[in-house]
Amino acid sequence: MATRHVVVLGAGFGGLSAVKHLARDRSVHVTLIDRNNYHLFQPLLYQVATAGLEAPQIAWPIRAILRRYPRVRFWMGNVDSVDPLDKRVWVDGKAISYDYLVVSVGSTSHDYGIPGVRENAIPLKSLGDAMRIRDRVLSAVEEAVRTADPARRRALLTFVVVGGGPTGVELAGALAELKRHVLARDYPEVAFEEIRIVLVEATDRLLGYLSPSLSAYTRRTLEQMGVAVMTSRAVSEVTPFGVCLRDGTFIPSYVVIWTAGVTGIALPGLPAGRNGRIATTPELYIPDLPDIYVVGDLNGLEQDGKTLPQVAPVAMQQGAWAARNILRRIHGKPQLPFRYRDKGNLATIGRKHAVGEVKGLRFSGYLAWLTWLAVHIYYLTGFRNRLMVLSNWIYSYFTYDFAVRVIHHRHQFPCQAEEEAVSAQQMLETPTD
C-alpha cells in the first residue's frame, strides 16, 4: 500500500491529538504546520498574565514532542491559504501537497463588532497577549504611584475584565489575588481599596454553562475577594480611557481585558459559517471536501441540538477521531460519526476556591480547587513544565507571593492633554439638531 501524506494545520490540542494517533500507523507520514515552534497550554495563560507563571512554563517545543514519532515532520510557518482542488496548502508562499488535511488552527478573540475593542482592549489568546496584560497592569500601578491627578490615578488602578466565562472568572480572581498578596505589599504608596477589579458580563450570571447554584457561588466568592461583578451589563464601546456600557455607565480604565468570546480563524479556500466555524459531517470532514477534516474551535458540529463548545477536551477528542477516520478510509473501512464525551467542567476562582461539574456531580470550594490543580498538572505538556508549574504553585501557596513581576515593555498611557483632545473631537463629531 502506498504511503499517504497527511498534513495537520495547528499544533494546539486538536492538532497534536491527531498527529499522535496518525503516527501509530505505518501507512501514513505526517507534516505538522504551525506558526509557532511551541505547543501552548492555553488554560494557564491567565497565570502568565497575572505574574504567577513564566511564559516558557506553559509552552513546550513542538520538535521535542515529535522526537518519538519518526514519520512526523514539522514545518514552522504561516498558512496563507488552502487549495482543495489541487490538494495543496500554501505556507509562506510555498506549496505543500496532501492526501488528507486536518485543520485545527483554533480561534481568535471575537469583538462582536463593538467599536474600540480591537484597538483598545487586550485579548488573552497567546503568550504575547499574556505578556502585554502583565506589562500593562504593572505599568499602570507604577504610573499611578507617580501621578498627582486623582481621576487619572483612579483610572490607572481600575482593571476591567469583560466576559464572565471561565477565562474571565479565572483572570478576575487571579487579579484579586495579585492585588491582595502582591500589589498591596509592593506598593505602599497605593491604598489597598484604591485598586479596583471589575468583571463585566452581558448575561445574567457568570459561568452560564454551569448550574445556577455554582454560578451564584462563583459570584459570591469573587465579590468576597473584592471583585466588582456587573452582570446583565453589555459593553457598547471601548475607548483608550475606559469602557462604555449600553446603560450609559462609563468605567474609567486604562487596562481593559477582553475575554467575552472567540471566533474561528478563517482560512482562504475553506468555507466559514457562523462565528467563523466550519460545518462538517458527523465524521468531521467538510461535506463537499471529503479529504479535509476540521477539529477543535473551528469545527461547527452540533450535538443534541447544540454547537459543541470551543474547549480543549472537544479539540482533543475530535483530533483523535479525525485521525481514526482517516486511517479507516485508508484501510477501506467505513468512517464512524463523532460524539463528544463530556468529562465535566472545572473553573478556578482563587486560592482554595473553584467550581466543578462532573457527570452530574456538582462541587465547589477546596475539593474543586485541588481537582482543578491535579487535572491541569496532568494535562500540561512536558515533565519539566509540570515540575516548574507545581513548584511555582507551592511557592505562591505558602508565601502568598507571585514571583514573576518583571515588566518587559513599559506601557505608555495617554496623557490628559490627549484625553481632552479626543473628547473635544468627539464633541465636534456629534450631530446637533
Nearest residue to 384 (alpha-carbon basis) of 36, 12, 61, 57: 57
| Pair 39, 381: CB distance under 8 Å | yes
Cell 471561565 belongs to residue:
166
Q: From start to end of 193-329, where are the E strands?
A: 196-200, 227-230, 235-239, 242-245, 250-252, 255-258, 262-264, 285-286, 289-294, 302-303, 306-307
Give the integer Cα–Cα distance in Å for 365 and 173: 14
Q: What is the pLDDT of residues 251-310, one digit of tens each?
A: 999 999 999 989 989 899 999 888 889 999 999 999 999 999 999 999 999 999 889 999
Residue 7 identity: V
> Using CA of residue 273, residue 274, residue 278, residue 279, what is the dihedral sign?
negative
Provide the pLDDT for residue 398. 83
Residue 3 burial (CB count, 10 A): 12
Give the integer Cα–Cα distance in Å for 183 and 190: 8
| Pair 72, 102: CB distance under 8 Å | no
Q: Say whether 117-260+344-413 and 4-35+77-109+262-330 share the same fold.
A: yes
Please tell me the pTM assigned to this model: 0.91
- The full set of domain ranges for the chain reads 4-35+77-109+262-330, 117-260+344-413
Q: Hey, what's the cell of 135?
A: 506589562
Provide the pLDDT for residue 222. 97
Q: Which fold has domain 117-260+344-413?
A: FAD/NAD(P)-binding domain (3.50.50)
> Using CA of residue 368, residue 374, residue 379, residue 382, what is the dihedral sign?
positive
- In the structure, what pLDDT confidence band is assigned to residue 395 with cuts at 50, 70 and 90? confident
Provide the pLDDT for residue 419. 54
Q: Which one-letter DSSP state was computed for residue 99?
A: S
Provide the pLDDT for residue 2. 80
- In the structure, what pLDDT confidence band is assigned to residue 418 with cuts at 50, 70 and 90? low
Q: Catalytic residues, which ones? A: 170
Q: Which helix (H) or strand (E) holds 88?
A: strand 88-91
Q: Which fold has domain 4-35+77-109+262-330?
A: FAD/NAD(P)-binding domain (3.50.50)
Q: What is the pLDDT of residues 216-260, one digit of tens each?
A: 999 999 999 999 999 999 999 999 999 999 999 999 999 999 999
Q: Which three-class secondary structure state does DSSP give residue 303?
A: strand
Q: Which helix (H) or strand (E) holds 120?
A: helix 117-120
